[in-house]
Structure 1
Amino acid sequence: MEGRWVEVADRVLVRRYAELDLSVGLVVGDGGCLVVDTRGDERQGAELLAEIRRVTRDPWTVAITHSHFDHSFGTRPFLGRPVWAHEGCRADLVENGDRARDEWSRYYRDLGRADIAGDIARTEIVPPDHLVTDRTRLVVGGRPIVLAHLGRGHSGNDLVVHVPDAGVTFAGDLVENGAPPAYEDAYPLEWPATVAALLDLIDSLDPPGGGPGGPGGAVVVPGHGDPAGRAFVVAQHAEISALAGLCERVAAGLLSPSDAVRLSPYPEETTRIALGRVGHR
């Protein structure tokens, strides 16, 4: 999907980027549109806005799925219109945004990507100005939108964006396709319950007859990787539940970390990071 929009349901578009295999979204209505995530720096955000303007000239509303740089640092070009996110997203950007900007700029510089490093370093971090605590319902361009914080998982401020009339859910990094879930900032013992709540949301808010393709045809857009269906989320829920169980056994002294690595559905690095996150508040 690099460089072009793909319509995954009626006027619901996904745009993919090779850098970090990132997916962003656009929901087009009548007289308004919803932008899901703004990419990783101010220049990337401006590029995204230019591409949105090729699709629609209507005013936008923004929803940020979580505070990590690749989803939220491109917000400044979108100022002047509402920017929605979980309240913890704002708190994290205010408290830790400058540090994250420095860390990611240094990361790309060490990779030899001075262009990306410079773009991140020059970015002004803009916190959201409309906050969700639990669940908020919007109407954007005549289309109903549900913003829901279902619990902690990939981060402490994950927000899912559901488009009921299309059967599409933007899951952020609660779901990841093509790579193991990222646990660096995660809550591994809570993540399974959050994804279970995501499945309940999909089931409860899908239009009659299901999403695209009929019953069970809901589309789930991960923060990274190809759009998928409900079955993919069920399979990933089983994997993160298995890893959560291993984390609990290690924390209780019933299993060694090396045995957890051997039994894990994910690679060693992912598993050890998850083990190290147990107990974080």
Structure 2
Amino acid sequence: MRWTEVADGVFARRYEELDLTTGLVLGQERCLVIDTRGDVDQGAELAGAVRELTGLPWSVVYTHAHFDHAFGTMPFLPCDVWAQAGCLPEMLRNGEADKRKWAVHYRNAGKPEIADALERTGLMPPDRLVTDRAELDLGGRTVAFVHPGPAHTDHDLLVHVPDAAVVFAGDVVEHGPDGFTAYSFTAETALDAWALAMDALLALEPRIIVPGHGDPVDQAFVRKHRDGLLRLHQLKTAKTALAEALDAAPYPAEVTKAALGFS
């Protein structure tokens, strides 16, 4: 758990729990916190870590509504909270159920302290909604919020720092051992749309891409997995048999099965 300065005044912070990566962008008048971790205690740790670097007032942005990215906001309040417009109904509809589900998961996994923290966590739905694109002036630095289209969710939001050529991608990009994990995909995932979202990211011409999980990557990494998604889309569209798909896909079996909808 340490800050890595990926560009001047632009930081990433990677955590062992879920290999989550959060972000921080400093302006002259404000700072922007990118994702707030998964519960009230984790959010408090992140808020304290931000205060080790700056005393500037902060804004928060969610890259998407999943608990590990958006449930740790209480210690940052009061502040404005940005997200893509679809994040709001998702949190209102499923947030409390997700809290309960993940509290059970952590209790069963022998991590009662995280389960307890989740049960004490109050959710903060976003109050600054982005449809396609918006900008936030931090003082001497403008950050752009860009919805690339459906990808990991239907409400992903890229955080672009143009003067630093950095994009915080949330889970549009994941940097695990195989790029994606089996948890990256749901039955509703449109693989070809996700590839187009990666093209939208690449069109921003970033020098550094900070994924939602793992260390920063470059454009070549994104292109590789854009092409991987397109290959998976071809296999799924052709209704390829499982054995043949496992041989033809560029990912291990558990990732391929999840992406193609095999149980």
Q: TM-score, normalised by structure 1?
A: 0.88
Cα distance in 2 between the residues matched to 1:244 and 1:230: 21
- The question of whether the paired residues in 2 share the 8 Å contact of 1:61 and 1:140 is answered with no
2:227 matches 1:238:
yes
Q: Which residue of structure 1 aligns with residue 193 of structure 2?
A: 190
Render the CA deviation track for 1:232-253: whole Å, top value 9, x for unaligned: 1111111111112111111xxx
- The question of whether the paired residues in 2 share the 8 Å contact of 1:138 and 1:144 is answered with yes
Q: Which residue of structure 1 aligns with residue 245 of structure 2?
A: 260
Render the CA deviation track for 1:249-275: whole Å, top value 9, x for unaligned: 11xxxx213322221112222222222
Q: Which residue of structure 1 aligns with residue 122 of structure 2?
A: 124
Runs of 4+ in 1 over 4 A off after TM superposition: none
Cα distance in 2 between the residues matched to 1:19 and 1:131: 28
Q: What SS does structure 2 have at the residue aligned with 1:154?
A: coil
Cα distance in 2 between the residues matched to 1:243 and 1:61: 37
Would you say how many aligned residue pairs link Structure 1 and Structure 2?
257
Q: Which residue of structure 1 aligns with residue 16 of structure 2?
A: 18
Render the CA deviation track for 1:147-174: whole Å, top value 9, x for unaligned: 0111111111110000000010000011
Cα distance in 1 between the residues matched to 2:113 and 2:244: 42
- The question of whether the paired residues in 2 share the 8 Å contact of 1:189 and 1:247 is answered with no
Q: What SS does structure 2 have at the residue aligned with 1:228?
A: coil
Cα distance in 1 between the residues matched to 2:139 and 2:189: 34
Q: TM-score, normalised by structure 2?
A: 0.94
Cα distance in 2 between the residues matched to 1:267 and 1:30: 45
Q: Which sections of structure 2, spanning at least 5 residues, go unmatched?
A: none
Q: Which residue of structure 2 aligns with residue 48 of structure 1?
A: 46
Alignment partner of 2:237 out of 222, 227, 248:
248
Q: Which sections of structure 1, spanning at least 5 residues, go unmatched?
A: 207-217
Q: What SS does structure 1 have at the residue aligned with 2:223?
A: helix
Q: What SS does structure 2 have at the residue aligned with 1:198?
A: helix
Deviation (angstroms), 1:118: 1.3
Deviation (angstroms), 1:188: 2.2
Q: What SS does structure 2 have at the residue aligned with 1:25?
A: strand
Deviation (angstroms), 1:73: 0.5
Map residues 69-108 of structure 1 onto 2, 5 A cutoff: 69-108=67-106
Deviation (angstroms), 1:101: 0.9
Q: Which residue of structure 2 aligns with residue 60 of structure 1?
A: 58
- The question of whether the paired residues in 2 share the 8 Å contact of 1:148 and 1:160 is answered with yes
Cα distance in 2 between the residues matched to 1:50 and 1:98: 26
Q: Which residue of structure 1 aligns with residue 214 of structure 2?
A: 225
Q: What SS does structure 2 have at the residue aligned with 1:226?
A: coil
Q: What SS does structure 2 have at the residue aligned with 1:119?
A: helix
Q: Letter of the aligned partner of 1:119 in structure 2?
A: A
Cα distance in 1 between the residues matched to 2:214 and 2:31: 23
Cα distance in 1 between the residues matched to 2:255 and 2:153: 15
Aligned CA RMSD, in angstroms, stands at 1.4
Q: Letter of the aligned partner of 1:27 in structure 2?
A: V
Q: Letter of the aligned partner of 1:200 in structure 2?
A: A
Q: Which residue of structure 2 aligns with residue 176 of structure 1?
A: 174
Relative distance call for 1:41 and 1:186 in structure 2 (3 A) is farther
Cα distance in 2 between the residues matched to 1:45 and 1:231: 32
Deviation (angstroms), 1:100: 0.9
Deviation (angstroms), 1:116: 1.0
